[in-house]
Amino acid sequence: MFLSFSLIDCLLFCNRWFTRDGWRRTKDDIILELKSAYAIAKLRKSGYSKQKFYTEAVDLYKEINTLMANGDKTSLRKAVTEKMYSALKNEIKQRESMWSSVNWELIEPIIKMRTLRARLIGVDRNDLNKVFVQLTLEFLAKQKFEAYDSKGVTVAGDKTKEVLVRDIWVFEKSLFHPGAYWRLCGRIKI
């Protein structure tokens, strides 16, 4: 097999491996990977299973998007952190000022899902067991969306068309509270 490199590929490779900034970036990437691995190892000690978590994450993804579409702020509060609740509540308020109602549907199964990063957030410096774990997930999914005005006329989207959507969400769970559950704590805009 013959590999061909363009001049740009060669420059990027050389920049990464033969410059001080390139080595610093490589070191930073390795440290991030080690921190992620440590967070996953700590999470596994609490009974974490990637397959079980992915099932929960898809359920949360579907539930939160449905609650958002329905404007159900009360139920939404239980599935997200306080900071995220405030942001989503404002998003619903802004949307309701433009559209009367929204129809959202997830086409299952999810096309692709992967963990991008894991991290631990300490609560108490003196007690390393008091931590929250955050997992950043990428969802690639087909969805249907349609928005309506007060007369029921479609003003955005088309519920007959499937759209491929890439979302990056951050889920959080306490590792020191018994009965803690996963909640959405952030969405990363792409």
Nearest to residue 61, comparing CAs of 157, 133, 168, 145? Answer: 168
Distances in Å between the Cα of 33 and the Cα atoms of 18, 23, 49, 74, 144 are 21, 15, 19, 37, 35
- Residues 88-117, mean pLDDT to the nearest whole number: 95
Banded model confidence at residue 7, pLDDT cuts 50, 70, 90? confident
The owner of tokens 């033969």 is 18
Instruction: Read off the pLDDT of residues 129-141 as tens digits, 9 standing for 90 and up.
Output: 789 999 999 999 9
| Average pLDDT of the residues of the chain | 91
Instruction: Read off the pLDDT of residues 145-181 as tens digits, 9 standing for 90 and up.
Output: 999 999 999 999 999 999 999 999 999 999 998 889 9
At 85 the pLDDT is 98
pLDDT at 15 exceeding the cut of 80: no
pLDDT at 17 exceeding the cut of 80: no
43, HSE (Cβ side, Cα atoms, 13 Å): 27
Written as six digits, the tokens of 34 are 């080690």
At 98 the pLDDT is 94
pLDDT at 3 exceeding the cut of 70: no
**Distance spanning both ends of the chain, measured CA to CA:** 35
Tell me the residue type at 154.
Answer: T
- Residues 83-98, mean pLDDT to the nearest whole number: 96
Instruction: Read off the pLDDT of residues 60-73 as tens digits, 9 standing for 90 and up.
Output: 999 999 999 999 99
**Cβ–Cβ under 8 Å, residues 146 and 61:** no
At 4 the pLDDT is 58
At 82 the pLDDT is 96
Q: Tell me the percentage of the chain whose pLDDT exceeds 90.
A: 76
CA distance 76 to 78: 5
- CATH class of the 48-188 domain in this structure: alpha beta
**Cβ–Cβ under 8 Å, residues 138 and 112:** yes
DSSP H helices, 71-164, are 73-79, 82-98
Written as six digits, the tokens of 105 are 């549907």
Alpha-carbon dihedral sign for residues 139, 188, 144, 68: positive
Q: Are strands 101-124 and 127-148 parallel, antiparallel or unpaired?
A: antiparallel
Banded model confidence at residue 1, pLDDT cuts 50, 70, 90? very low
At 54 the pLDDT is 97
CA distance 96 to 69: 10
Tell me the residue type at 100.
Answer: S
CA distance 161 to 18: 49
At 123 the pLDDT is 81
77: left (phi over 0), alpha (psi -120 to 50) or beta: alpha
